[in-house]
Amino acid sequence: MPFGSWLIQWISRPFRGFGDSKRKAYMDILNSLEDTDKVMFVENGHGKKGLLVFRQKIKKSGTSVIYAGASLMEPFPVVYKLVNKKYCDLLLKEYIIMRSVWHRNILHVRGIHFSLKGNVVIMRMDAAYNRDLYSYLRTTEGYVNKPVLDKWMKELVSAMCHVHSKGYVHGDLNYKNILLTKDLSIRVADFGSADKKSKFKLTRYDPKFLPPELNSRRLEPIPAEYDTRLIDVWGVGVVLFFALTKHHPFTESITMSATDVHGNCPGETLLYDEDRRRCSSSYAKVVGKLMDYNAARRPKLCYIIRQDYFSET
Ligand SMILES: Nc1ncnc2c1ncn2[C@@H]1O[C@H](COP(=O)(O)OP(=O)(O)OP(=O)(O)O)[C@@H](O)[C@H]1O
Ligand SMILES: [Mg+2]
């Protein structure tokens, strides 16, 4: 029996209780399926069955596969994060945290599904049209203009301030975990390393985004008195630095001029004059403050939001 007919028969059986409109919605999705689409039958953990449509593989990482697709629940494109069932608890934890930090600049997660075959767990989330900040910066020529930089700064600082106000630390902020919508609005993603501020441990992270006080002692546990939010503060600083310069801070050419004889780098000296000309004075100030080498001087994000210079742009 051709696959399409089998699918239609399958659907008409388990969903016999559905009204016409839901059945029609399923049929519309089926009719729009192209040859390359794959479907997966799932349930939501409470026995409610459904169908997910997978269109294009976006990325495969160590533990997950990311797919662009469609679902019956939303009239817009969605993205699925799939993990093997042995990582189920990790994905559920990520989902719960992302639901508890709901904010317009944090990626919205819409649901968790379990494949009927039982081997895969899937998180359903909004799609970010422009993928991640790194891919965007790599594929666009020239530098980002001032209004967009200012918008990113405001959105990222306010999203992360919100995460901290809910008692969580993201812990893996980097340009691949910052997604961009079609109108270049930021959506913070990948809360797979996140945890409550007091319980946070370094698990998965990109060392390029780790603050200096922890980078030098990566194998040791984080000292109990350390405020783990400072990891995100530094991470936001590095992301904003990269968005402006398309460079990593402390690469050879930049380090030479920016660090003092002790290897310390006061945040204010990080940016060259030519970088400062391409951004607002507010942006340069925020990057400098967040990337203060001295952790004791590095401000909380909620403090930054309250400063006059933050709202100047
Ligand atoms: N909702 C989305 N919309 C568009 N692209 C996405 C979305 N979610 C993830 N991606 C893409 O997939 C990549 C990996 O996603 P994510 O960081 O959530 O997975 P991961 O398993 O934690 O991967 P990694 O180990 O590389 O961090 C992102 O950097 C981004 O390019
Ligand atoms: Mg990631």
> Is 265 touching ligand 1 by the criterion CB < 6 Å?
no
Angle at 72 between CA 68 and CA 76, to 5 degrees: 55
**Atom in ligand 1 nearest the alpha carbon of residue 83:** 21
Task: Tell me what pLDDT residue 28 has.
Answer: 64
pTM score, two decimals? Answer: 0.88
Does a structural domain hold residue 215?
yes
Work out how many domains the chain is built from and give that number: 2
Task: Tell me what pLDDT residue 16 has.
Answer: 47
> Is 107 touching ligand 1 by the criterion CB < 6 Å?
yes
> Is 66 touching ligand 1 by the criterion CB < 6 Å?
yes
Residue 85 pLDDT > 90: yes
Ligand nearest to the CA of 181: 1
**pLDDT tens for each residue of 149-177:** 999 999 999 999 999 999 999 999 999 99
Does a structural domain hold residue 1?
no
Separation of CA 65 and ligand 1 centre (Å): 8
**Contacts of 17 by beta carbon, 8 Å cutoff, 6+ apart:** none
Tokens of 281: 């004075």
> Is 94 touching ligand 1 by the criterion CB < 6 Å?
no
Q: Are 183 and 284 in a shared domain?
A: yes
Ligand nearest to the CA of 132: 1
**Contacts of 62 by beta carbon, 8 Å cutoff, 6+ apart:** none
> Is 188 touching ligand 1 by the criterion CB < 6 Å?
no
Q: Are 121 and 135 in a shared domain?
A: no
> Is 91 touching ligand 1 by the criterion CB < 6 Å?
no
Domain containing 220: what range?
131-311
Residue 57 pLDDT > 60: yes
Does a structural domain hold residue 277?
yes
Burial 246-263 (b: 16+ CB within 10 A, else e): eeebbeeebeeebbeeee
Q: Are 100 and 223 in a shared domain?
A: no
Q: Are 149 and 96 in a shared domain?
A: no
Q: Are 101 and 143 in a shared domain?
A: no
Confidence of residue 117 (pLDDT cuts 50, 70, 90): confident
Ligand nearest to the CA of 95: 1
Does a structural domain hold residue 26?
no
Q: Are 220 and 73 in a shared domain?
A: no
Task: Report which protein residue has its CA nearest ligand 1's atom 11.
Answer: 131
Q: Are 251 and 221 in a shared domain?
A: yes
**Contacts of 10 by beta carbon, 8 Å cutoff, 6+ apart:** 41
Confidence of residue 191 (pLDDT cuts 50, 70, 90): very high
- Does residue 20 or residue 224 have the better pLDDT? 224
Last residue of a domain, one of 84, 102, 126: 126
Confidence of residue 14 (pLDDT cuts 50, 70, 90): very low
Last residue of a domain, one of 126, 154, 170: 126
**Contacts of 154 by beta carbon, 8 Å cutoff, 6+ apart:** 310, 313
- Tell the burial category of 133 from Cβ atoms under 10 Å away from its Cβ (0-12, 13-18, 19+): buried
Task: Tell me what pLDDT residue 311 has.
Answer: 84
Conformational region of residue 287, where left means phi above 0, alpha means psi within -120 to 50, and beta covers everything else: alpha
Confidence of residue 118 (pLDDT cuts 50, 70, 90): confident
Query: Residue 63 belongs to a domain with what CATH number?
Result: 3.30.200.20
**pLDDT tens for each residue of 16-39:** 445 667 666 666 666 655 555 688
Query: Residue 277 belongs to a domain with what CATH number?
Result: 1.10.510.10
**Contacts of 179 by beta carbon, 8 Å cutoff, 6+ apart:** 107, 128, 130, 131, 132, 133, 186, 187, 188, 189
Q: Are 174 and 198 in a shared domain?
A: yes
> Is 64 touching ligand 1 by the criterion CB < 6 Å?
yes
CA distance linking residue 192 with residue 9, whole number of Å? 38
